[in-house]
Amino acid sequence: MSRMMWGLILVSLAACDGGGGSAPQNVTSIKPRSPYVEQLRSLSPQNRDLALRRAIQDSGQSCKRITSSQEAGTYKNMSIWTAHCEGGRDWAIFIAPNGDVQVRSCKHVEQLGLPACGKAPG
């Protein structure tokens, strides 16, 4: 390839950069989609409560019966769900895109620097 052709290629590549060499300031972050969260969303409320109860119990915590649950937003790349258990215990369930789950007491999430989970309706 001739020098002139290489020169045109380099000039056109430099033009693609915008000339400034700095990263754009208005970048939209994309939240990763999780098949696990999508499956949880598609469940009936009763089956969703059972799945969340199982996550709470698998983490070594207790929950006899979930009286209400809801999706409560996101934190970093995790979906947050809240569950209110019979007996007055509230839990925040953090679900990562790879399916890893962390369960925290709603009383402790703010102390840990996590977003407050509030009470699930019901």
pTM > 0.85: yes or no: no
**Beta-strand (E) ranges in 2-120?**
66-75, 78-85, 89-95, 101-105
Residue 116: per-residue pLDDT = 78
Q: Tens digits of per-residue pLDDT, 23-71?
A: 556 655 455 578 889 999 999 999 999 999 999 999 999 999 999 999 9
Contacts of 98 (CB under 8 A, 6+ apart): 34
Q: In the prediction, which pLDDT does 8 show?
A: 47
Q: Are 63 and 85 in contact (CB under 8 A)?
A: yes
